[in-house]
Amino acid sequence: MNTLTVNLHLLMVSFYRPSPQRYKILIEADAFPSDRCTLASQLRFHGYDPDTALIALKARPGEECIRIEDIQEVLATQGSTCSIVGNTNYYTGQFSYENHLK
């Protein structure tokens, strides 16, 4: 198969259909640089500024994983504008399944 970056591009070309109301992408702040470039490229392709449309959530100082309540807070305030929400941090293995966020 392809590299992760190529697969991410193919996935987004196929399924990322932003609207004026739902266009933002939420990812972990320490995502692979190539993943961030892919997401930024897709945002630009669709006419959005990655500086405002790419939300990079990071763990609190001194912590490895993002607290569930921090994810819930971002979703409560910006979730209605998010088109994609990443759920696995490949550095830490943290998995934020939807049912854990409710």
- Report percent pLDDT > 70 for the chain: 84
pLDDT tens digits for 81-100?
A: 999 887 666 656 566 655 44
**DSSP string of the chain, one letter each residue:** ---HHHHHHHHHHHH----SSS-EEEEETT--HHHHHHHHHHHHHTT--HHHHEEEE-PPTT-SSPPHHHHHHHHHHHGGGEEEE--B-TTT--B--GGGG-
pLDDT tens digits for 48-77?
A: 999 999 999 888 999 888 888 888 899 899
Q: ∠ at Cα 55 (2, 29), nearest 5°?
A: 65
What tokens were used for 68? 């569930």
Q: Read off the pTM.
A: 0.81
pLDDT tens digits for 24-40?
A: 999 888 888 888 999 99
